[in-house]
Amino acid sequence: MLGGGQLGRMLAHAATRLGYRVHVFEPQVNCPAGAVAHKEVNASYEDLEALAAFARECDVVTYEFENVPAAPLKHIESLTQLRPHWSVLETTQNRSREKRWLRDHKFPHARFAEVAAGGDLAGGIREVGVPCVVKTADFGYDGKGQLKVMTEDDVPAALARFATQPVVIEQFVHFACEVSAVVARSQSAAVRVFPISENIHTNHILDFSIVPARVSPEVLAKAEKLARLIAERIDLVGVMGVEMFVTRDGDVLVNELAPRTHNSGHYTIDACMTSQFEQQVRAICGLPLGAVTLLSPVVMVNILGDAWKNGEPKWDALLAQPNVRLHLYGKADPRPGRKMGHFTVTARDANMAFEFAEKYKGRLTS
C-alpha cells in the first residue's frame, strides 16, 4: 500500500482479516496504517530504488490517496501488479485532466475553463461567468486550493491568489444536495455500487454522510449509473469514490473522482454486507466482489481535531449508545480540521439516524 493514512489503516484491517500480509510505503514515520501493518517503509515516493525494492516484495500494490505522484509508479509497473493502474491515478489527481476526461467521455459536469500558470485568469473567469470557483489544478482536497468568486468584487482576490498557479475555473452550481457513490470493479469487469450517500460539508470538509440518500429514486438511479459507467470507461480495478451534485431540477453532475476508498463510504464498515475496504481488497486481489446490501439506515460523522478544543472528547457519551460505532485513527496530534476518526449511527430510517448523529456529535464536546 502506497500511503499510510487512515484509509490505509482501515484497508490494512480488512486485508489482514482476510489473511493477507500488508506492507506500507509512506514518507512520514509512525503513520496510522503502518501501526497496524506487517511492515512499514519510510522513504520518498520519488526514491525509485526504495520504491522498486518495496514493489518486489509485494504481489499487488495499491494506493490509499491520490496525491501519490503517478510518474514513479511507471517505474514499478513491470515489477508487480499495480491496481488501480497508474494511468487512473494520473487522470484523477489533476483537476484539469479529470475535467477533460469527463468532458471527452460525455459525462455531465459543470462548465469549466483551464488557465495555465501566469495565464489570463481574468479572461477565464469571464469565460465561465460569475459566480464560479477557482481551483488549483493539483493537490486539492477538503476544500484546499480553491476560492469562490461569487461577485465581480471577488475577482481581484482570485487574481492575487492564483496568478502563478495553473487552475481550473468551474461554474458555481446551485445544487440541492451533494451525493457520492463508492463503486468497485474487479479484474473480470464485475461492478458493484454501494448505496448512494448524501453528504453534508462544513467548511469544505465532509461532516455527515446520510445513507440512504434522501433523494428521489430517479436521482439514485442516475447517480448509480454514472458511477458504474465511469468505472467501466476508466478501466478501474479497485474502488473509486464519485462525488456528484444534484441540481434543483433533479439533474446529476459529476464533480470529482477519487480512485480509492472514500470518506463518505466509511458507513459501509458497520452498515453493509461488505465494507468498501474489504471490497478494495477483493477487487485488487482477484477475489469475487462482495454484496453491497445495506443492512440498516446509517449516518457517518467525521471527528476532526477541533473536537479536542476543550480537552479529550467525551467518548463515553458515544460509547454508551447501543446504535453507535466509534473508529479512531491513532493520530497523536489533533489539529483543527484534521480527520481523527469517525462514528456511525444506525436507526430505523435516515432522518432518525441523522437526528441522533447531530445530537451525539454535540455531546462529544459539551
Q: How far apart are CA 351 and CA 84, in angstroms?
A: 36
Is residue 87 in a domain? Answer: no
pLDDT at 121: 96
- pLDDT at 163 (0 to 100): 87
Q: What is the pLDDT of residue 113?
A: 97
258 plus 307 within the same structural domain:
yes
pLDDT at res. 67: 86
Output the nine-digit C-alpha cell for 82. 499495480
- The Cβ of residue 207 has, within 10 Å, a number of other Cβ atoms equal to 16
Same domain, residue pair 334 and 195: yes
- Domain CATH code at residue 76: 3.40.50.20
Same domain assignment for residues 137 and 248: no
Compute CA distances 35 → 62, 68, 142, 268, 280, whole Å: 18, 20, 25, 22, 20
Same domain, 140 and 184: no
How many distinct structural domains can be found in the chain?
A: 3
Domain endpoint, select from 152, 171, 190: 171
Domain end marker among 171, 195, 212: 171
Q: How far apart are the first and last CA of the chain?
A: 38
Closest to 8 (Cα-Cα) out of 205, 266, 261, 241: 261
Q: Are both 29 and 129 inside the same structural domain?
A: no
Domain assignment of residue 228, yes or no: yes
Residues 68 and 209 in one domain: no
Examine the domain organization and report whether 158 and 194 are in the same domain.
no
Same domain, 153 and 183: no
Give the DSSP per-residue string, 56-69: HT-SEE-BSSTTS-
Q: How many CB atoms lie within 10 A of CB 363?
A: 14
Residues 216-222: contacts with CB under 8 Å, at least 24 apart: 216/250, 218/250, 219/179, 219/246, 219/250, 219/252, 220/196, 222/251, 222/252
Does residue 323 fall inside a structural domain?
Answer: yes
Phi-psi region of 203 (alpha: psi -120 to 50; beta: other; left: phi over 0): left
Q: Give me the half-sphere count of Cα atoms (radius 13 Å) on the Cβ side of residue 45.
A: 16
Do 133 and 180 reside in the same domain of the chain? no
pLDDT, residue 261, reads 98
Q: Is residue 97 part of a domain?
A: no
Spell out a b/e string for 298-319, using b for 16 or more CB atoms within 10 Å of the CB, else e. bbbbbbbebbbeeeebeeebbe
User: Does 337 fall in a domain?
Assistant: yes
Give a yes or no: residue 352 inside a domain: yes
185-214: pLDDT as tens digits: 999 999 999 999 999 999 999 999 999 999
Q: What is the CATH number of the domain that holds 183?
A: 3.30.470.20
Q: Is 154 in contact with 129 (CB distance < 8 Å)?
A: no
Q: Which three cell numbers stand for residue 171?
A: 461554474
In the block, residue with C-alpha cell 476508466: 234
Residue ranges of the chain whose pLDDT lies below 70: 139-143
Domain containing residue 321 = 175-365
In degrees and rounded to multiples of 5, residue 227 shows phi and psi of: -60, -45
38 lies in some domain: yes
Please, are residues 237 and 63 in contact by the beta-carbon 8 Å criterion? no
Contact predicate 8/24, CB 8 Å? yes
CATH number at residue 149: 3.30.1490.20
Size of the chain, expressed as the number of residues it contains: 366
Say if residue 145 is in the same domain as residue 186.
Answer: no
Helices (H), the chain: 6-17, 48-56, 71-76, 86-92, 95-104, 121-128, 155-162, 217-233, 268-271, 276-284, 315-319, 350-365
Looking at 67, 82, 97, the residue that finishes a domain is 82
Domain annotation covers residue 105: no
The cell numbers describing 45, all together, are 515516493
Are residues 289 and 147 located together in one domain of the fold? no
Are 132 and 256 part of one and the same domain?
no
| Distances in whole angstroms, Cα of residue 336 to Cα of each of 309, 328, 340 | 8, 16, 10
SS3 for 228? Answer: helix
Per residue in 220-239, pLDDT (tens digit) is 999 999 999 999 999 999 99
